[in-house]
Amino acid sequence: MPGTFESTTLLHILFVIAIIAEAMTAALAAGKREMDWLGVCMLGCVTALGGGTVRDVVLGNHPLTWVQHPIYLLLTGGAALCTIAIARYMHKLRNIFLFLDAVGLVVFTIIGCNVGLRLELPLVVVVASGMLTGCVGGVLRDILCNSIPLLFRAELYATVSIVTGVLYISGLTVDLNHDIVMGIAMLSGLTLRLLALRYGWSMPKFVYGGNIH
């Protein structure tokens, strides 16, 4: 397996689109909680960049992405603030943002896996790195908005990230072409997420109504 995996131009473009979309959807969540403009801006940045930040802190990967590239803070904060001006029209774009959220999930997962591979970590940690990158931003958003994080609900979200990461790593492990493997993993994860949204697929729930005493 090659030692390093640099982001392709397409992956970087998708990353930028994804963080902007995540920041805008976070801004709407902030609006529902009646946050001030600073809160809107901060929630947008935390949601869009939080997954990669937590990943890098956990793995000791420095400098942090937004420290190395401050433009990402301007992009996400600016996108969140711009959402205030167009909020009344956002409901018309709901399906587009659901699609972009799904794209962001698989793109963040691949980028997170690449970081793990670059650090030469065990494969299970590489997959976990991808999941942290893909999911934790949304967890932070939900916690700050006092909601049960989507990651901990039955909806297929973290599962999609894990499937994407496993497919990606498996293909690279057997020395298949990197771009083909990346395309298959992302397309598979995206398809699974969109089908889950369309048909309401979910993981089994654990329901316990007994008394522990």
Q: What does the pLDDT read at residue 121?
A: 97
Return all residues near 73 (Cβ < 8 A) that are at least 6 apart. 45, 49, 66
pLDDT 10s digits, 19-51: 999 999 999 999 999 999 999 999 999 999 999
On whether residue 211 sits in a domain, the answer given is no
- List the domain range (segments joined by +) for residue 127: 9-199
On whether residue 206 sits in a domain, the answer given is no
| Cα-based distances in Å from 108 to 19, 38, 45, 67, 159 | 9, 25, 15, 18, 14
- Name the residue type at position 108: F
- Best CA proximity match to 3, nearest among 110, 118, 112, 109: 118
On whether residue 209 sits in a domain, the answer given is no
On whether residue 207 sits in a domain, the answer given is no
Q: How many domains does the chain have?
A: 1
- Strand, helix or coil for residue 202: strand
Give the integer Cα–Cα distance in Å for 79 and 73: 10
Candidate from 4-13, 79-88, 203-212 with smallest mean pLDDT: 4-13
Burial call 100-123: b when 16+ CB within 10 Å, e when fewer: bbbbbbbbbbbbbbbbbbbeebeb
Q: What does the pLDDT read at residue 154?
A: 62
pTM beyond 0.75: the answer is yes
Asked if residue 136 lies in contact with residue 54, where contact means CB atoms within 8 angstroms, the answer is: yes
- Name the residue type at position 10: L
The overall average pLDDT reported for the chain is: 91
pLDDT 10s digits, 155-179: 789 999 999 999 999 999 999 999 9
On whether residue 4 sits in a domain, the answer given is no
On whether residue 3 sits in a domain, the answer given is no
Place of tokens 């598979």: 188
Task: With a cut of 50, say whether residue 124 has pLDDT above it.
Answer: yes
Rounded (to 5) percent helix, strand, coil in the chain: 75, 0, 25
- Strand, helix or coil for residue 201: coil
Give the integer Cα–Cα distance in Å for 7 and 46: 22
pLDDT 10s digits, 80-104: 999 999 998 888 888 999 999 999 9
On whether residue 210 sits in a domain, the answer given is no
Q: What does the pLDDT read at residue 205?
A: 78
Return all residues near 184 (Cβ < 8 A) that are at least 6 apart. 167, 171
Give the phi and the psi of residue 152 in degrees, each rounded to 5: -95, 5
Place of tokens 């089994």: 204
On whether residue 194 sits in a domain, the answer given is yes
